[in-house]
Chain A
Amino acid sequence: EDQVTQSPEALRLQEGESSSLNCSYTVSGLRGLFWYRQDPGKGPEFLFTLYSAGEEKEKERLKATLTKKESFLHITAPKPEDSATYLCAVPGGGNTPLVFGKGTRLSVIA
């Protein structure tokens, strides 16, 4: 059973068209939720960590929020350079420090 589910799988936006990406998780006793950006052929780039429900973090056009069951990555007035795959990850149980979702592939069209 997947511990991290991201939706949608792919999202195509016009430049300036704001939207949100979703990450739902099933781990209990959350010890942090992490957002990363991944460009094709590159390593994940750390964006945010959220630790408790109600917490919000912002960076340029991105804002991450957290509830008890899910996190949202809001993108305001996106630009073509925001095109990437956005990954969500949580510390897993047992032997998995980070469990990643499949990601949302975002394309922003000029």
Chain B
Amino acid sequence: EPEVTQTPSHQVTQMGQEVILRCVPISNHLYFYWYRQILGQKVEFLVSFYNNEISEKSEIFDDQFSVERPDGSNFTLKIRSTKLEDSAMYFCASSYKGNEQFFGPGTRLTVL
């Protein structure tokens, strides 16, 4: 069964460093998303991407964040200068029609 994959599973970085989180969505899906979940809190929407551009973004998704689909299979989230409060699980999701979203296993980001 097709699934969303994410790498790395765990990323440790120093405050102020740049990180890139990678995702491979399900191959025939057209809509792509990033969410995050701070430990013990709700899953929160960050950004959605369709037709090679950002379609929606939340207040969390400020200028420190960017997304890219560099080729036909990968979807990346870059955080330019990490802060302590960026520590969270980051989930990639994809959808065929923009309704049911299928999530990856997540990347645990720890900022020291």
Contacts from A to B (Cβ < 8 Å)? 31-32, 34, 36, 41-46, 49, 87, 89, 92, 95-103
Contacts and interface: CB of A to CB of B under 8 A. Distances in A.
Contacts of B98: 97
Interface residues of B, number: 25
Contacts, number: 56
A38 to B, nearest CB: 8
B91 A43 contact: yes
Given A42-B106, A43-B105, A43-B106, A97 B100 contact: no
Contacts of A103: 42
Nearest to B108: A41
Contacts of B57: 95
Contact of A43 (B41, B44, B58, B104): B104
A103 B43 CA distance: 10
A8 B12 CA distance: 34
